[in-house]
Amino acid sequence: MSSDRVLMKVRDLTVDYMGDFEVLRAVENVSFDIREGEAFGLAGESGCGKSTVAFALARLTRLPGLVTGGAIEFGGEDVLGFTGDRLRAYRWREVSFVFQSAMNALNPVIPASEQIIDAIETHTGKTGDAARKRAAEMFELVGIHPDRLDDYPHQFSGGMRQRICIAIALCLNPKLIIMDEPTTALDVVVQRDIIEQIVALKAELGFSVLFITHDLGLMIEFCDRIGVMYAGEMVEIAPAEAILTAPQHPYTRALGRSFPPLSGPRVRMEGIAGSPPDLSELPVGCRFAPRCGEALPLCRHAAPAMISYPEKRCQAACHLLQ
């Protein structure tokens, strides 16, 4: 499905949160590519910086957050340099976002129609009936009857609301949709429905997706490639199926073990022992070393670099692989 042409190139992305007394480096030197038509997943424990990366890519980072380093290239253009109208066009015409909470992403007191039509009117020449027609098409596309266009958010179920958010994200035919835990707030059946719908839409419309979820099984099923983050750094990028079958980094392995197998008998899961480091007191050397069962003396004083292993079609940052 995905081609080899790169749509978005992220290089050494660094994002800080400015505190009153210290600066927290939530994301440091993260690099990865999103290819055209590809679903790229970001995995990792809570707090590792997935949302921070997602917001930075969409240029939605807000104070106290600040992108302090690196580059984001989109179709050859420098995204971090966008301002004014170019930035406005970038956001939503080229890249759109599905927020985590379907319940709160729509304004409860104005009709759903208005919340999709305003995006269409702001970015295209379409107004009035033309914009409305487009909104109706989008509703149909995500499986909601266009008769319900003028209903208010509370009249829809949680799953329908998230579909409306997806319709809003799709209405300008963007090249990339960033989905930060788009289904976490929904029940499992609805979750599956929606993911299947996104898969179908992606095949039909050919957009790329940056997908974040805590459900590793779902991610492996849906994504082409997955980047694994740990404590603000990227530790491994590999084809989705390799995350379980051929994990390279010890953290990826631990992450895989902490999830129930997709099929076969249920085995007792082992969680990952210990907890991620405090961002204000990062260990010297490899950040995962204190929790790593195989850590070498080297791991505790030198940080490993991200290295490509073409024969395994992956990249990883671990001394053990050298």
Partner 1 sequence: MRFLMRRLGFYLAAFAVAITLNFFIPRWMPGDPTTRIFLGLRGKLTPQAMDALRASYGYDGNLWDQFMVYLGNLAHLDFGVSTTNFPEPTSSLLFYSAVWTLLLVGLATAISFVIGIGMGIYSAWNRGGFFDSVFTPVNVMLNAFTPAIVALILFYAFSLQWRLFPLGRAHDLGIEPALTFEFIINVLYHATLPVLSIVIVTFGSWHLGMRNTMIGLLNEDFVALAKAKGLSDQRIRYRYVARNAILPQITALALTVGYVLGGALITEYVFNYPGLGKFTLSAIQARDYSFIQAQLLLLTASVLIANLISDILNLILDPRLRSRTQE
Ligand X SMILES: Nc1ncnc2c1ncn2[C@@H]1O[C@H](COP(=O)(O)OP(=O)(O)OP(=O)(O)O)[C@@H](O)[C@H]1O
- Footprint on residues 209-228 left by partner 1 (CB under 8 A): none
Cβ distance to Mg ion smaller for residue 52 or 115: 52
Closest CA to 178 of 57, 65, 44, 62: 57
For residue 54, the minimal CB distance to Mg ion (Å) is: 8
The site partner of 106 among ligand X, Mg ion, partner 1, none (C-beta below 5 to 8 Å per kind) is partner 1
Residue 171 to residue 134: CA distance in whole angstroms: 8
For residues 166 and 211, give the distance between their C-alpha atoms in angstroms, rounded to a whole number.
13
Nearest distance, CB of residue 64 and ligand X, angstroms: 5
- Strand locations in 155-283 (E): 176-180, 208-212, 225-230, 233-239
Closest CB 51 distance from ligand X, rounded Å: 3
The minimum distance between CB 21 and ligand X, in angstroms, equals: 12
Binding string, residues 19-58; x marks residues near ligand X by CB under 6 A: -----x-x-----------------x-xxxxxxx------
101 binds partner 1 (CB under 8 A): yes
Measured distance CA(58)–CA(115) in Å, rounded: 20
Under the criterion CB under 5 A, does residue 213 sit at the interface with Mg ion?
A: no
Structure tokens belonging to residue 317: 């940052």
If one counts every other C-beta atom within 10 angstroms of the C-beta of residue 275, the result is 11
Distance CA 199, CA 202 (A): 5
Binder among 29, 51, 183, 252 for Mg ion (CB under 5 A): 51
Q: Which two tokens stand for residue 254?
A: 């631990």
Report the interface residues with partner 1, using CB under 8 A.
Answer: 58, 60, 88-89, 91-92, 96-97, 99-101, 104-111, 114-115, 118-119, 122-123, 152, 154-155, 165, 168
